[in-house]
Structure 1
């Protein structure tokens, strides 16, 4: 995803990229504006799942860094997770809950309309 892919407001949904910007079975990072602040959101394209696309906060609260889009995706039991590249905690992509610690990250509704990946923020 290039620096040109700045989020564009579309009613209540925010277009953040095109589906061609996504990487199968991996993550990309989108920078979105929330009020006066900017937030990094990790978007994961998992075409072999029911939802196909998941969006969570890119910030790893345990590692204290914006790195989750670089994590490895997989499953632990019935949970679809991303493993933090720093200390390897697993965060559930549907709930945001960390499976090893009593901590959670934000999860964002995401949809694909035609070729546009949109977040509800």
Structure 2
């Protein structure tokens, strides 16, 4: 599949960033609205959270590995909003992680790795720095 940047609109908050190389990981059809799907990227399981109704960023990429339980379950968590922060709740111990930067609200010492993510037409891309 050949993508022409001029023909494929970018729909996420991460358009062009110096030093970021973009890698296609799946298609828009693989995403589930207001939920997570998991892809393998750069040696890690990455949960892609798709929020098509969001006013700013519509796609987030966050580590699928729950640091408290050690299980790869974050992509199965519930997406919500706490104090105007978009979060995902771990399905096991219910701690909340901010989608924007992976910080845990209850345990600030816990943090999930995040990646830049974007939709380029029907292709989902994750950035590697």
The TM-score normalised by the length of structure 2 is 0.80
| Partner-residue secondary structure (3-state), 1:65 | coil
Q: TM-score under structure 1 normalisation?
A: 0.85
Give the length in aligned residue pairs.
Answer: 107
Relative contact order, higher structure (CA 8 A, sep 6+)? 2
RMSD: 1.1
Report the secondary structure of 1:59's partner residue. Answer: coil
Larger radius of gyration: 2
Q: What is the correspondence of 1:41-56 to structure 2 with a 5 Å cutoff?
A: 41-49=46-54, 50-56=56-62
Q: CA deviation at 1:25?
A: 0.6
Cα distance, 1:55 vs structure 2: 0.6
Distance 1:81 1:48 in 2: 15
Gaps of 5+ in 1: 1-10
- The corresponding residue for 2:111 is 104
Cα distance between partner residues in 2 of 1:56 and 1:12: 17
Q: Is the strand fraction higher in 1 or 2?
A: 1
